[in-house]
Amino acid sequence: SIPAGGGIPRCISDARNGVQQFAWSPDGKTIAFVTPDNPLVSAKDKRAHHDLFNIHDDDYQISRAPVPSHIWLLSVADGKARQLTFGRTSVLENPPPFAGSITAPVWSADGKWLVFTRQIDADDSDTDQTTIAAVNVATAAVRTLTAHPTYEYTPAFAPRGDAVAYLYPHGPGPVSDMDVFVTALAGGDGRDVSADLDRDVYSEYAWLPDAQGLVAVADDRVGSKIYVQPLHGAGHALVLGDLNPTLVAVSAQGALAFVADSATRAPELYLLRTLSSQPVALTSFNRAFAAYAYPRSIEVTWHAPDGQPDDGILTYPDDYRAGQRYPLVVYSHGGPEAASTEHFDAGEIGPLRDVFAAHGFLVFEPNYRGSDNLGDAHEHAIYRDPGVGPDSDVISGITMLEQQGIVDRARIAAVGHSYGGYMTAWLIAHQHFWRCAVVADGAMDWTQEYELAGDGNLAWVRDSLGGSPWNPRSAALYRSGSPITYAGQITTPTLILSGTADITVPITESFALYHALASRHVPVRFIGIPGAHHMPQDPVHRELYYRAIEDWVVAHMQPSPHDSSPTAAVAKADPRRAGA
C-alpha cells in the first residue's frame, strides 16, 4: 500500500502464489484478494519427478494440473489473511473476450458480502460454465444467485440496497450482445434491463449512485459511446462530440470519469460533472501527438447480397486526389465480437491504418457480420456461419468502393489478425484477385481450435458451430467452415505470423497453412514470435510485428508491368472470379 499523500510503499500481503486481483472494502480496513491454490504436485514430488497429471479439456501448452483460484480476506492493519472460498470451483479466470485475467470480487455497500463470477472448475475450457455467486464475509457461506448454466459474467453490487447487476448474452449462444441483467442478493435470474439498447455492453459498466440506473460503454457504428440505462425504460447515449470512450467510473456524487480518444486525438482522462454537462479534459499526457497530421477516415455503409446491413472505416491516403485510383488494403478485425472503430490506437490494427495511408494506400476496415457495433441481429448473424456470410460482407464492401472509382483493382491486399486472420485466409482461398495477404495468429482449422486451444475457445467454438467436431450433426460445419479445407486453392503471396506461446490460436494452425502453400510453391513467409501469446506485448516484438506486415504489403503492392496486361484487365473488370 502507498499513503494517499505519498510516501514509501509497504508490502501488506505474503500470498504464496501471488495476488491475481484485489478489491478494497468500503471502510478501507480489509482487502479481498484472489490467489490460486497450491499446486497439486508438491515440491518434494516434483523433485522426485512424480509430477504427472491428468489432462482434460485444456490447452496444448498446459504444463501442470490447473488449480482453482479463491477469495481471501486481508486485514490492512496487521496483514493477517484468511481464506473465504474453497473447493473445486474457481473465481473466473478468463472473462470474455479471452482476456486471460482473474475477475475481481465486488463488495456490497455494507461490506457484508462479496459477489463474484464462479467457474465450475479451473479448466480454461470451461470459462463458459459460469454463474454469479455471493459469499458472506462473516460466515464464508456461498450463495448462487442465478440459474443460467453458462456465460454469466462481471457482477456488480448496487451502491445502495441489495441489487446485483451482471452480464449475460442476449442469446442464444456466445455470439450475441452482452446485456445487463439486474437481480437481487436473495437470488434469481432477474431482468434484462438493456435489451432495448441493442448494443454489446461487454464488461465496462457501472452503477449510478441512486441505484436506479447504470452507465455502460459499447461500440456503436465506427465509434463507441457511453449509454445511460435506467432500470426501467429506454436508455440513451451521452453527447460526447467526437470522443470515443473506453473506460468509465462513477463517483458517489454522480460525476463520470472516463478515458476517451478519437481517430486523431490520443487517449486522455475526461470528466462529466453531470450526465448533461460537457466533457472536460483532466489530463494532457499525450498532447505531443497533437503536433502530427493524421489521415482522413470516414464511415462507409453498404448491404451484402442477402440484405445484411454493414459498415466500416475507409481511410484515405495522405496524397489522395479525387478522380485517381489507389491501392487498397482490406483489414479484417478479430473477435469476431468486436469492431473496427475510430479509436486513436485503432485496436489490433495499431499503427497500420496511418502507415498504409502514408504509403499512398486506401485502407478499408469492414465490420462484417459478427461485429458488435450494429446491434444483436448483426452480431448474431455469424452464428453457425463463420465464413460464407462474413465473406459476402467484405466482398460486397469492396465492390461498393470499386464503384466509386477510387480503387486500383490490380493492387488489393488482405490483412487480418485472429478472427481477422481467419477471414483473410478464407478470402484468399475463395477469391483470387488479391495482390498479397497477411494472416496473423489466424484460426485455420476449427477442429484444432476445439482440441488444442485455451482461453475459452473450446467452448466458443463448440457453441458457435453446434457441437463437437466428432458429432455427426456438426462435423460438416467444422470442415466447411475452416479455411484449411480450401488452402489448396490459395495462390496469393502470403505472410504468416504467429506467437510461439499462443494458446488462443495455436501455432500449429499456422504451420498447417504454411505447408499448404509452401508445398505448392505459393510465395509464403512464416514468422514465429518467440514467447508471444496471441499478440506480442513487449515493445520490441510489437514493433517488429507491425514492421513485418508493413514491409510485406508495401513490397507486393508496388506497380508491376503486368498490371496493364490483358489478364490484369480482366481481373480489374471482375476481381471476384472465384476459382479463376
pTM beyond 0.85: yes
Secondary structure class of 498 (helix, strand, coil): strand
Cell of 572: 480489374
Q: How remote is the C-alpha of 189 from its chain's centroid?
A: 26
pLDDT at residue number 155: 94
d(CA 254, CA 233): 20
Cell of 418: 485472429
* Res 110 pLDDT > 90: yes
Which H or E run contains 47? helix 43-47
pLDDT at residue number 403: 97
pLDDT at residue number 65: 85
d(CA 395, CA 390): 9
* Res 2 pLDDT > 80: no
Using N-to-C axis directions, what is the helix angle for 472-480 and 457-465, rounded to 10°?
100
Peptide bond into 155 cis (omega under 30): no
Count, residues in the chain: 580
Tens of pLDDT along 395-415? 999 999 999 999 999 999 999
d(CA 372, CA 321): 33
Using N-to-C axis directions, what is the helix angle for 388-402 and 419-430, rounded to 10°?
70
Band (564; pLDDT cuts 50, 70, 90): low
Give me the mean pLDDT over the 144-156 stretch: 90
Q: How remote is the C-alpha of 353 from its chain's centroid?
A: 19
Secondary structure class of 491 (helix, strand, coil): coil
Tens of pLDDT along 415-453? 999 999 999 999 999 999 999 999 999 999 999 999 998
Cell of 523: 510465395
Q: Look up residue 270 and give its amino acid.
A: Y
pLDDT at residue number 93: 65
pLDDT at residue number 61: 86
pLDDT at residue number 244: 96
Give me the mean pLDDT over the 474-494 stretch: 97
Peptide bond into 172 cis (omega under 30): yes
**DSSP E strand stretches across 194-262:** 205-207, 213-220, 223-230, 236-237, 244-250, 256-261
pLDDT at residue number 362: 98
The cell 432495448 sits on which residue?
Answer: 196
Band (64; pLDDT cuts 50, 70, 90): confident
Band (246; pLDDT cuts 50, 70, 90): very high
Q: Look up residue 282 and give its amino acid.
A: L
Tens of pLDDT along 170-210? 877 778 899 999 999 999 999 999 999 999 997 789 999 99
Band (339; pLDDT cuts 50, 70, 90): very high
Tens of pLDDT along 37-57? 988 767 777 777 778 888 888
* DSSP class of 49: T
User: For the ranges 334-348, 474-488, 547-561, which has the lowest average pLDDT?
Assistant: 334-348
Q: Is 447 within 8 Å of 476 (Cβ atoms)?
A: no
Tens of pLDDT along 89-108? 999 865 444 444 457 899 99
pLDDT at residue number 117: 93
Mean pLDDT (the chain, rounded): 91
* Distances in whole angstroms, Cα of residue 520 to Cα of each of 32, 211, 287, 444, 524: 57, 63, 51, 18, 10
Cell of 436: 498479397
Band (577; pLDDT cuts 50, 70, 90): very low
